[in-house]
Each structure stands twice: as C-alpha cells, then as structure tokens.
Structure 1
C-alpha cells in the first residue's frame, strides 16, 4: 500500500467511560483496530477504553491505538514463526 492509497487520517467517534471522543486514524490502522476488537469479542469502545487506561499521559489516544495495533501484529508474527 502506498502513502497515496492510505490517504489522510479520518475521524472516528468513540465512547470512553461515558464520554464521546474522536480519534483520527488512517484506514489501515482503523481496519486492523476493528479486526482486533472482533477477534477479542469486544466492542470498539471497550477496546479503546482498555487502551486509554493503559496509555501514558504523554501519548494521545490515536497514537496509543496505533501502537496497540502494531504490537498486536508483531505478536501474531512472532507466534506464526
């Protein structure tokens, strides 16, 4: 996928602990975030809430989601072999 195909980050709405927020993510990150939530049997909001609770104060939520996606994919690659 080329940078042109990825496009600009798009805003996506989430609810975290009863508060609406939005994150701007590139389509590949959003798609994988959704896949992870589905695979874990969680809603997007539930997974975002978990990620939000674990992130440091210096990390934005969108960045924390990107890192979570990256770490999840790295773990899958290690498990595969």
Structure 2
C-alpha cells in the first residue's frame, strides 16, 4: 500500500527547498539519478527547469519518472 507523501529536502539553484513525494517516487528518483551518475539535486534541478510554470515540482517529478520508466526497455 502506498505511503503518504513525505517532505524531502533539496538544494536547487543554491536555495534549500523541500518536495513532498511518496517513498516509492523518492526511491525511483534516487534510482534514476544513480543510473545517470548524478545527484538527486542535479536531476531535480533539470526537471524543475523543464516544468511548465503552472505545474508543481512534485507533479513534475512524478510525471518525469513515469515517462522514464514507461519508456524503459524490458
């Protein structure tokens, strides 16, 4: 059963922020960052820069992860 979102702290563009994500999404974000050889903060900064102005960061992260893992072979 999915857990409630929990706050996770990050530094983006030199500023501390937090994002509320379910543990499963946080783990997937960490996994993807590790696969790409970079930090969670660096990956999140890229997602943040690409998101529409009217979309929250947590939603942008979830959608980015969904698209990535749906398109992953195997």
The runs of at least 4 consecutive aligned structure 1 residues that moved more than 6 Å come to none
Structure 2 residue aligned with 1:58:
54
Greater share of helix residues, 1 or 2? Answer: 1
With structure 2 as the length reference, what TM-score do the two structures score?
A: 0.96
In 2, Cα distance between the equivalents of 1:14 and 1:62? 12
- Report the aligned-residue RMSD: 0.7
Q: Deviations over 1:12-66 (max 9, x none)?
A: 0011110111000001111001000000001010000000000000110000000
Structure 2 residue aligned with 1:42:
38
Specify every segment of 5 or more residues in structure 2 that has no aligned partner in the other structure, as ranges. none
With structure 1 as the length reference, what TM-score do the two structures score?
A: 0.88
Q: How many residues align?
A: 74
In 2, Cα distance between the equivalents of 1:43 and 1:31? 13
Specify every segment of 5 or more residues in structure 1 that has no aligned partner in the other structure, as ranges. none
In 2, Cα distance between the equivalents of 1:65 and 1:7? 17
